[in-house]
Amino acid sequence: MLWLLLGLGAGVLASVLVFNWRERRQLKALTPARRESAADQRLEQEESHEDIDDRWEWGVEMVMRRSTLLDDRQCPARMGNKPSRLVITGNQTATLAVLLATRQGGLTVDDHQAVGDQVSQWEASGAIRLPASAVPPFSDLVRRARQAEADIADLDGQLIFRLRAEEPASSETIFACCEQLGLSQRGEGRFSMLDEDGQIGFSLLPADQGLMLSFLLDLPRVCDPESWFVEMAETARRLAEALDAEIVDDRGMVLTEQAMGLIREQVRQRAETLTEAGLRPGGVLARGIFQ
């Protein structure tokens, strides 16, 4: 019986946990600017100044001139297409940290060149002094970037399930039901459940193949993915009742309460795996990588 449940869980997760580029792009377009609470700001400030994680980042060590100390405000948020951060390592030392890879791919020559250009600009302005060979050559970073890209693919996860009805409801009816459930409209036919800081917890998007709506939870980008899954599942259940629909996976199989319970456990395990890999779900590093 145990092996049957495990097999069922693997099958359900495989059909629900997907990497859908189109829906990911739609979700990114819906994401509002985050209004962070004081607690979140403290946690993210601490996280953003943590030591560089060599599994995910590479860095350029710099000596800051005493009269022109750098800070976060002077550090671009991106170098090329890769998120970056400034890590203060001492009274006059700092490291420019840049991600080796993101969902969109590994470090490129252009990304590496952008880093070189930025530190050269700081050095020319007199803000820093670069030790010899401070910027590692691109060839030294390629293997690490490829490994990071592979690890990201293994850790990634977007949970998607859909509503199916014999007679799809009108857009007016869907809007009224979503509004009653506390969902915010983010565009035509698109809705999101937001947390108290305005950050997306999960989204509803127009579905295809004759289905009504897609529920999407971007696991690495939300704090406490398990809690958000529970809320998304309950919202889906209530919306399905209101619209006389059923919740199905990508194969069109109805997701029963038992299947939902198995998925919840898999979500919890995925969150633990992310944390063990140094990527706190919803944290600065995780959101940078899974952008």
Q: How far is CA 155 from CA 32, 164, 177, in A?
A: 24, 29, 34
Question: What's the pLDDT score for residue 48?
Answer: 52
Whole-angstrom distance, CA of residue 89 vs CA of residue 106: 26
Q: How far is CA 147 from CA 49, 55, 135, in A?
A: 24, 8, 20
Q: Is 232 helix (H, G, I), strand (E, B) or coil?
A: helix
- C-alpha distance across the termini of the chain, in Å: 40
Whole-angstrom distance, CA of residue 227 vs CA of residue 231: 6
Beta bridge partners of 216: 160, 203
CB atoms within 10 A of CB 287: 21
pLDDT per residue rounded down to tens, the chain (291 residues): 334 344 545 454 544 554 443 444 444 444 433 334 444 444 454 455 578 899 999 999 999 886 566 766 678 999 999 999 999 888 888 999 999 999 999 999 999 999 999 999 999 988 899 988 899 999 999 999 999 999 999 999 999 999 998 888 888 999 999 999 999 998 888 999 999 888 899 999 988 766 789 999 999 999 999 999 999 999 999 999 999 999 999 888 999 999 999 999 999 999 999 999 999 999 999 999 998
Q: Is 205 helix (H, G, I), strand (E, B) or coil?
A: strand
Q: Give this prediction's pTM.
A: 0.80
Q: Label residue 289 exposed, middle or buried (CB < 10 Å: 0-12, 13-18, 19+).
A: buried
Whole-angstrom distance, CA of residue 59 vs CA of residue 45: 19
Q: How far is CA 19 from CA 51, 147, 160, 279, in A?
A: 30, 19, 9, 19
CB atoms within 10 A of CB 243: 18
Question: What's the pLDDT score for residue 169?
Answer: 86
Task: For 98-136, give one letter per residue: b (16+ CB within 10 A) or e.
Answer: bbbbbbeebbeeebbebbeebbeebbeeebbeeeeebbe
Whole-angstrom distance, CA of residue 204 vs CA of residue 236: 10
DSSP secondary-structure letter at 204?
E
For every residue of 85-153, DSSP letters joined together read: EEEE-SSSEEEEEEESEETTEE--HHHHHHHHHHHHHHHHTTSEEPPTT-S--HHHHHHHHHHHHHHHH
Amino acid at 124: A
